[in-house]
A = this chain, B = another copy of it.
Amino acid sequence: MNNINKTSVDEFVTHILNNNISYLSRAITLIESNNSKHQEKATQILEKCLSHASNSIRIGITGVPGVGKSTFIESFGKYLTSIGKKVAVLAIDPSSSIQKGSILGDKTRMSTLALDDNAFIRPSPSGNSLGGVARKTREAITLCEAAGFDIIIIETVGVGQSETTVHSMVDFFLLLKLANAGDELQGIKRGIIEMADTIAINKADGNAEKEAKIAKSEFSRALHLYPKKENNWIPKVLTCSALNNVGIDSIYTIIKEYIALTKENGSFLKKRSEQNKNWLFETINNELKNQFYKNSKVQNLLNLQLKRIENKEINPFQAAKEILKIKR
């Protein structure tokens, strides 16, 4: 395998279209790079891959730390490959803005799925910019689809702003919960429950099975308090044990029902179309910022103004105004 800089755009594209995972992986690295040469190459690869996007299903999976996401995705992913699907897992880790943490620290995550020839797992640490992650994840989805993956799983931690972003990229949104989830520190915000197309109460095994069933009926009742979804889908609640591979196939059955319903009533394509429109705006807005801040005059004046703000010599509003005057 050649160096990332020496491999040509066409080589990348050919190998990605042939489902070569190491080229796919390196192309995503190019997409995530802040190096402008890498970005240029990534853009060219992306453009050539766009017309090869498959008929994939995009599934968002979220849940607080401790809910068993890795075990779940491993079990779910293995099930999917066992029925002949090709599965890509993209993990977004926005961390918390104050307390830095990572869901990606453990290298042994999903180790069995990682060895599966029909699976591809890609963690993406996010840094600070959630918008940036969103854009890059969307591009990574496109590359995975060009590489022939049928099921794209996007994993996120259910504690931040990332869920809204992920929701705006997927067809189906699955929320993983624990039965004894009353603990305030593990709270899931209301908006995430509203977004869920299905809630799976995980770790329904051993002594926790009874509790999980109670939680299931509580959640089913709670979901009735929400207004009906526009696409006519009635969110499902079920229990599962990723550890014992129980209930995993039921989740895929539900997803198939969901896709069938939304494809039939047109909401599947409508949602994809809305998502594409959002992607248009995000791409433009990101590019406007990129073009502006890479200007060296802007960079110099910006550094000066940041110092002046620190010294209380200027207010941010006037500082911005001066920087915006720069001819571009």
Contact = CB atoms under 8 A, between A and B. Distances in A.
Interface of A: 46-47, 50-51, 64, 96-99, 139, 142, 159-161, 164, 181-182, 184-191, 193-195, 222, 225-227, 273, 276-277, 279-280, 283-285, 287-289, 292, 305-306, 309-310, 312, 315-321, 323-324
Nearest to A215: B184
Give the 6 A-B CB pairs with smallest separation, nearest first.
A187-B187, A283-B320, A182-B182, A279-B316, A280-B316, A276-B316
7 contacts: A47-B318, A96-B194, A99-B194, A159-B190, A184-B193, A185-B193, A283-B321
Which of A97, A182, A320 has the most chain B CB within a 10 Å cutoff? A320
B99 A310 contact: no
Contact of A50 (B51, B188, B317, B323): B317
Nearest to A168: B97
Given A187-B184, A188-B187, A284 B292 contact: yes
A276 B187 contact: no
Contact of A324 (B96, B164, B284): B284
Main secondary structure, interface of A, reads helix
Contacts of A320: 279-280, 283-284, 287
Q: How many copies does the complex hold?
A: 2
Contact of A309 (B51, B96, B277): B277
Contacts of A280: 305-306, 309, 316, 319-320, 323
A189 to B, nearest CB: 5
Nearest to A229: B98
Which of A280, A305, A323 has the most chain B CB within a 10 Å cutoff? A280
Contacts of A46: 317
A161 B164 contact: yes
A306 B187 CA distance: 38
Contact of A97 (B99, B164, B279, B306): B164
Nearest to A310: B273
A188 B184 contact: yes
A39 B46 CA distance: 39
Nearest to A53: B315
A56 B271 CA distance: 46
